[in-house]
Every structure is written in structure tokens, then in C-alpha cells.
Chain A
Amino acid sequence: MELPESLIRTDALTKRFGSVTAVEELTLDVRPGITGLVGANGAGKSTLLKILLGLLPATAGSASVLTLDVATQGPAIRERVGYMPEHDCLPPDVSATEFVVHMARMSGLPTTSARERAADTLRHVGLYEERYRPMGGYSTGMRQRVKLAQALVHDPALVLLDEPTNGLDPAGRDDMLELIRRIGTEFGISLIVTSHLLRELERVSDGIVVIDGGRLLRHSTTASVTAETAVVTVEVTEEPAELHDRLVADGLAVRREGVLLHVEVEGHEAYDLVRDAVADLGLGLVRLERQRHRMTEIFTDATARGEVHV
């Protein structure tokens, strides 16, 4: 499927409920792929999703999804977008199969296709025999999978997932994140995933949008963040104090953590300096590992500056 260059574009998007401003002057350009939408509870994430679905009119500004205007082309957007709400939305007295088939038809699929797609999708999200049982007896993890399946069943170009890991235990979170990663990479469907936890999204996202109080705090791609400052962890066979001093003398920023040295590198010469220092001191190099810049730091830095209220 041909995806437009720009998945979502907003221009000075503003939404007010009376005197409360939920989204303020938000200008974004989100590209296809997996994008994390991060913010504390009440930061305006859910409101933004509803505007993007064409369900809430914006107070000011404009927005487009898949190059369709949210103000005028809502039905066309909703035909090609899937939505998984944050809250529970499953009737307890029908089976997952019946429910997802019904929801597929409600997306405009003919009955035969709806049945096929529902069976396929439920298998993809990891529901097997239990899909014939009434959903009242499902665990939270299974319920989240059905909610995800109904958002995917009509093969959308984009799915909006509102807090998909909410209420899941750590193993369930990992499963859900792995599923999100597969949808983005193997299925080729773009995702917007909201969470109030940045750490879990950084594992799977291509880009992160941080909003707070309805305002854009930061929009970054994983690649750009990693490129800015890379951290290399060095571990040697002996006490690293001598190496630490040598590297500092060479002009590198080094932070010691037990037997590990974290060295901030800018460019290739830093690697050479580390290699030469280790060789000159006659040490054995156990590990020279480039770390992914923890994007948590974006968040904690911002918090430290008092910009995010978590």
C-alpha cells in the first residue's frame, strides 16, 4: 500500500472545552511508522486522537490524516483508520469472533470478508481457541488483544492505540509492545501509540512526540536522538581507574559506574582514543558497546526543568 509522505499533519491545532484548553497550538508532522505519543494523564493525548478521527471539531487550526482533512473528510478517514480506545469496550455476552466479525462489517466489509478477516486478525493478535468463548471470562491481556483486533480487522493504513498497555502486567506489556512492533514492521501499518510511560514506547517507536498541557514539548525520531550523543560503555579486565584518568586526560567526558566506564563519543576519533588508551595500558578489553541513548533522559531532563508534570 502506498503511504503518503506525511501521515498526520497538524497546524496550530487548538481545542478548548469551555475555559479548559486540551490542545494548544499544536503543530506536528508525523511520518509513517510507529510513533509514540507521550504525556502525563490529562496532557491532551485522547483529545488529540479524537480530533484526528474527525469526531471532535477543533476550536482553531487544522489537521489532516493520510492527507484527508479531519474537519471535512471524517468518514473517509475513519474508513482507513483503526481506533483502540483506552477504556474497556467489549460486551461480555458474545464471543470475540462474533464481536470482531460484527465490527468488521461496521467498517464496511461484506459479511464473507468480515468472517475471514476476523479469523485472521484474531490469530495475529494471539487469540486461538478462546475466541469462541464469551468475552466476559477473558483476562485483561486477552481483552486488550480483542480491542486491538477490532481496530485492525479492516486492514487500516493507520491505527490509533490509546494506552494499549494499561492494566497489563510486565509480561503482558512486553507481549503488547512486541505485537505493536510487528504491526508496524511486518504488517506495514502505521501506528500512533499513546502512553504516559516514555520508557516502554522508546523500545518500539520510530519517533516520539511528547505533549504536556496540550502543547508540543518535543518531537524526535529515535535515529536523530541516537546520533546526537552516543554513549559507549567500556569494560576492561582490571580496575578501570587508570583508564578513566587517561581518557579524561585525552579530553573525553567519562562517567564511572562500578567497573564500567561510560564514555560520551562525538565522532570516530573518540573510538580510536579509547582503543589506544586500552592498548597502551596493557589492559584486556572485555566490552566496547555503543549504548542507545536512553530517551528516558529526554523526559527526565524536561521534568527536571519543570516542564512536565507527571
Chain B
Amino acid sequence: MSETTPAGAIHDIGYRRYEGPRLGASYIRRSLFLETLRGSFGLGRSARSKIMPNLMFGVLVLLAVVLGLVAGYFGMSELPMGYEEFVFSMQVPITIFLASQAPVAVSRDLRFKIAPLYFSRPLSRPQYVQARYAGMAAALFVLTAVPLTLLLAGALLAELPWREQLPDYVRSIAGAAVAALVLAGVGLVIAAMTPRRGLGVAAVAGTLLVLSGLQGTVRALAEEFGDAAFAGYAGLISPFSLVDGVMAVPLGAESVMATPPEGFVMGAVFCAVAALLVVGCYGSLLLRYRKALR
């Protein structure tokens, strides 16, 4: 050992040990989940990164309020746009929100090689993926559930019958939860595959919008040829119409589609595909991080 030099400068009070608690992996996972959820709305980040997510959130909230006001002002017997239809029609702002925030949740850690710092801590790779996935899904749920709740408030203020409104609202909230899980999975997987800056945003938005367009085209063609069953299955193409199908058959909601999926078999197929998609996305993320330590 080399000779000890005199202790440092006078203001140096020396090293202090940490004797406090070391909270385990579940605390860490919860912290990372909250960080992801807050971060998706720009909280705890720079002012510039608050703009995009909150703009999209604002659009959805504003629209819900306006719809409620319109229903009350004109004394309508029902909302100008139903709860399910609301989520489906708001595809573009939801997609933009997801495309701008999924890369924040996962691509940064890969691009700047921060992931090894997480994995050299008590958190395991599955726990990291769970925290990020749940955080992103929770953000999407907040994004849609808050405007849906405002829509319900508007409907009740417009003195629409709550017996009709409430079941529809509850179904749409369940649908929002399914949509959040499916969309978060798709968005995170695409973002994790494209760690380069900007590319993730374009890839997520592009994929969702193209699939949505494709779904519409295939469905229109099938309807043209009068094949209602095929048209119904076309809903599997896009995550948004997939969720619409899940909401329509087992949840008994009114589908947005002209040729909605019908019957037990088709309903089961939609549910199975949605479940497989969620599990598959989780699995792909785990695989993606298996080799992330470098």
C-alpha cells in the first residue's frame, strides 16, 4: 500500500456510512413503475418533454368535456359519441402518446446503455420488464379512463338516465384496461427493438397507423364481397379493432364496426389473440433484456 497522504481539504467532513434501511426488490420495482408512469406524462422530466404527452391528454379531456356539454345544451337523449366509440375514434392521439412515450420508457435505457446499471442492482430482469410494462400500461389507462369518466360526468349532468350510462361506462373502462395492456405491449416491444433516437417514435406510430389502415381496407373489401365473417376477423389486424372486438363479444359492448365480430367462436378468438399478444409482448421484452448487460 502506498503511503497515506494527509487528509483532504478542511471542508471535507469525511465519509459517512449508510445505516438506514435497504428496501428490497419489490420497493425498487414499485419505484420504477411510478417513475415510468409519471415520466410518461413528463413529470420529473424537462419542460419540453411535458408538451407532447399532455397535449394529447388535453385533446382527449377537452373532447370529452365538449361532448358532455353538447349533450346537455341540446338536451340530447344520448351522448353524441358513445364510450366505446370515443376510445376507438381517439386512435390518433392515443397512438401519438404511445409513440412518444414508449421510447422514453425503454429505448433510452438501451441507447445509453443504462440497463446494466439496473441489472447490477437487486432488481431482476423480469421485475424490470414488469415495472416498465405496468408503468406504460397504467399511463395509457389514465390517458383514456380520465376522459371517459369526464364523459360520464357530462352525461349525468345532462340528466341522461344513469341506468343506461353506467353499464356502458363500466364496460368502456374495462375496455380501456385491455387496450392499455395490448397497446403498451406492442409499443414497448417496437420501441425496444429500435433504440435509435427518433426511430422508435416513427416505428411505433407507423406500425399502429398502418395496421389500422390495413384493417379498414381489408374489412371494406370483405364487406364489399359480403363476407361478414371474414370482415369480422379483419378486426384482428389492428390492436385498436382487436380491443373493440374483445369489448364487443364477451363484454357485450356495442361495436364500432359495421360488421362486428359475432358469436362465441369469434369472441373467443379475439380474446385469445389479445391475451397471446400481451403474453407475447412480455416474453419478447424479457428476451430483449436477456442480453442487455453490455
Which residues from chain A sit less than 8 Å from chain B, CB to CB? 1, 33-34, 50, 53, 55-56, 75-76, 78-79, 81-83, 85, 87-93, 98, 102-103, 105-110, 113, 117, 120, 124, 150, 154-155, 181-182, 185-188, 203-204, 206, 222-223
CB distance from B152 to the nearest CB of A (A): 35
Question: A92 with B120: in contact, given A50-B293, A109-B20, A206-B1 (CB under 8 Å)?
Answer: no
25 A-B residue pairs with CB within 8 Å: A82-B120, A83-B116, A85-B113, A85-B116, A88-B113, A91-B112, A98-B44, A103-B121, A105-B28, A105-B31, A106-B117, A107-B22, A107-B28, A107-B121, A108-B28, A109-B18, A109-B20, A110-B21, A110-B23, A150-B117, A154-B18, A154-B22, A181-B2, A186-B14, A203-B2
Chain B residues 33-70 with CB under 8 Å of chain A are 35, 44, 46
Which residue of B has the minimal Cβ distance to A113? B20
Check B46 against A120 for contact (C-beta < 8 Å).
no
Q: Which DSSP category, helix, strand, loop or mixed, fits chain B's interface?
A: loop
Check B16 against A120 for contact (C-beta < 8 Å).
yes
Question: A124 with B35: in contact, given A55-B120, A106-B123 (CB under 8 Å)?
Answer: no
Closest CB pairs A-B (n = 4):
A155-B18, A83-B120, A187-B15, A108-B22
Q: Which residues of A contact B32 (CB under 8 A)?
A: 106
Q: Which residues of A contact B118 (CB under 8 A)?
A: 106
Question: A186 with B15: in contact, given A85-B116, A108-B23 (CB under 8 Å)?
Answer: yes
Q: Does B221 contact A (CB under 8 A)?
A: no
Q: Which residues of B contact A113 (CB under 8 A)?
A: 18, 20
Q: Does B124 contact A (CB under 8 A)?
A: yes
Q: Does B88 contact A (CB under 8 A)?
A: no
Q: Does B163 contact A (CB under 8 A)?
A: no
Which residue of B has the minimal Cβ distance to A80? B22
Within the complex, which residue of B7, B21, B117 is in contact with A85, where a contact is CB–CB below 8 Å? B117
Please report the C-alpha to C-alpha distance between residue A173 and residue B294 in the assembled complex, in whole angstroms. 24
Please report the C-alpha to C-alpha distance between residue A8 and residue B34 in the assembled complex, in whole angstroms. 36
Check A1 against B28 for contact (C-beta < 8 Å).
no
CB distance from A105 to the nearest CB of B (A): 5
Please report the C-alpha to C-alpha distance between residue A108 and residue B21 in the assembled complex, in whole angstroms. 8
Q: Which residues of B contact A92 (CB under 8 A)?
A: 112
Q: Which residues of A contact B46 (CB under 8 A)?
A: 93
Within the complex, which residue of B1, B2, B23 is in contact with A109, where a contact is CB–CB below 8 Å? B23
4 extra A-B contacts, CB within 8 A, seeds A79-B22, A92-B112:
A75-B24, A87-B294, A186-B14, A204-B2
Interface centre among B1, B16, B44, B108 (most CB of A within 10 A): B1
Count of chain A to chain B residue pairs whose CB atoms are closer than 8 Å in the complex: 103
Instruction: Count how many chain B residues have C-beta atoms less than 8 Å from C-beta atoms of the other chain.
Output: 38
Q: Which residues of A contact B119 (CB under 8 A)?
A: 55
Within the complex, which residue of A33, A88, A107, A185 is in contact with B4, where a contact is CB–CB below 8 Å? A185
Check A222 against B1 for contact (C-beta < 8 Å).
yes
Which residue of B has the minimal Cβ distance to A222? B1
Please report the C-alpha to C-alpha distance between residue A110 and residue B21 in the assembled complex, in whole angstroms. 8
Check B122 against A91 for contact (C-beta < 8 Å).
no
Please report the C-alpha to C-alpha distance between residue A85 and residue B283 in the assembled complex, in whole angstroms. 27
CB distance from A199 to the nearest CB of B (A): 13
Please report the C-alpha to C-alpha distance between residue A225 and residue B32 in the assembled complex, in whole angstroms. 48
Q: Which residues of B contact A102 (CB under 8 A)?
A: 35
Check A107 against B1 for contact (C-beta < 8 Å).
no
Within the complex, which residue of A89, A98, A105, A203 is in contact with B113, where a contact is CB–CB below 8 Å? A89
Check A124 against B15 for contact (C-beta < 8 Å).
yes
Check B4 against A78 for contact (C-beta < 8 Å).
no
CB distance from B7 to the nearest CB of A (A): 8
Q: Which residues of A contact B24 (CB under 8 A)?
A: 75, 79, 108
Interface centre among A108, A109, A185 (most CB of B within 10 A): A108
Q: Does B114 contact A (CB under 8 A)?
A: yes
Q: Does B162 contact A (CB under 8 A)?
A: no
Q: Does B25 contact A (CB under 8 A)?
A: yes
Which residue of B has the minimal Cβ distance to A53? B120
Which residue of A has the minimal Cβ distance to B24? A108
Please report the C-alpha to C-alpha distance between residue A78 and residue B120 in the assembled complex, in whole angstroms. 6
Which residue of A has the minimal Cβ distance to B7? A186
Within the complex, which residue of A56, A85, A90, A117 is in contact with B18, where a contact is CB–CB below 8 Å? A117
Within the complex, which residue of B8, B20, B23, B122 is in contact with A75, where a contact is CB–CB below 8 Å? B122
Which residue of A has the minimal Cβ distance to B117? A89
Q: Which residues of A contact B4 (CB under 8 A)?
A: 185
Check B22 against A89 for contact (C-beta < 8 Å).
no
Q: Which residues of A contact B31 (CB under 8 A)?
A: 105-106
Please report the C-alpha to C-alpha distance between residue A103 and residue B116 in the assembled complex, in whole angstroms. 12
Which residue of B has the minimal Cβ distance to A185? B4
Please report the C-alpha to C-alpha distance between residue A89 and residue B119 in the assembled complex, in whole angstroms. 13
Q: Which residues of A contact B44 (CB under 8 A)?
A: 98
Q: Which residues of B contact A206 (CB under 8 A)?
A: 1
Please report the C-alpha to C-alpha distance between residue A81 and residue B20 in the assembled complex, in whole angstroms. 16
Please report the C-alpha to C-alpha distance between residue A34 and residue B2 in the assembled complex, in whole angstroms. 11
CB distance from B43 to the nearest CB of A (A): 13
CB distance from B10 to the nearest CB of A (A): 14
Check B112 against A89 for contact (C-beta < 8 Å).
yes
Which residue of B has the minimal Cβ distance to A82? B120
Please report the C-alpha to C-alpha distance between residue A198 and residue B16 in the assembled complex, in whole angstroms. 31
Chain B residues 94-135 with CB under 8 Å of chain A are 108, 112-114, 116-124
Check A89 against B114 for contact (C-beta < 8 Å).
yes
Q: Which residues of B contact A50 (CB under 8 A)?
A: 293
Question: A106 with B121: in contact, given A75-B25, A88-B112 (CB under 8 Å)?
Answer: yes
